[in-house]
Amino acid sequence: MAEKSHFVSPAGHLFIVSAPSGAGKSTLCRILTERLPALRYSISTTTRSPREGEVDGVDYFFTDVETFKAGIQANQWAEWAHVHGNYYGTSAVFIDAERAAGHDVLLDIDVQGTVQLCAKYPDAITIFIMPPSSDVLRQRLEQRGADPPDIIDKRMANARREMAQHGVYRHTVINDRLETAAETLVSIVRGYQES
């Protein structure tokens, strides 16, 4: 785990958005950055292969396991996790530099990563995206067509564990209707920016 940040009270806010796989987190974060373009989106690094349509440096920074593990040893990651057989991590350098410059930073990470980040950045504003139900979540994962049934079963098991922890987040947004959920998310973030 990375060392504690030296910034006592950075000018920029840190927004962390989490959700189980398939709940619409990536879509909602994209809408959020379109509507609030001053937000700096932190692109995660992963060792998984790109999905169809994903672009390196836009959706994720794609890397190999050896390079990622070297980053762990060098305390490069503000948080990192091994999820579904792949590594995911968030750059501490990016977060600290952007916040020190007065920019608000948006992170799109899982519950495990949020716990690590909140230990380092206790002022983080945490938002959990909930699907309307487990059945709807499974349907979305199946319609995505990205994973075989056994991986979907694993994602659903993880989703149940993650949804059980949504109470530790400051805010919860239910993604039943995308536009309504997007408006709620934008309103939450804008409220902190304007305060």
pTM: 0.82
Predicted confidence at residue 81, as pLDDT, reads 86
Average pLDDT rounded to a whole number, residues 145-173: 89
Asked whether residue 174 carries a pLDDT value surpassing 60, the answer given is yes
CA dihedral 142, 143, 147, 153 (to 10 degrees): -20
Are 80 and 87 a contacting pair, CB within 8 Å? yes
Q: Specify the CATH class of 14-194 in words.
A: alpha beta
> For the chain, what is the mean pLDDT?
89
Residues of the chain above pLDDT 90, percent:
65
Strand partners, 52: none
- 170 within 8 A of 125, measured Cβ to Cβ: yes
pLDDT in tens, 16-42: 999 988 888 989 999 999 999 999 999
Question: Would you state the pLDDT for residue 1?
Answer: 45
Query: Which residues, in sequence order, are CB contacts of 95 under 8 Å at separation 6+?
Result: 14, 42, 78, 105, 107, 121
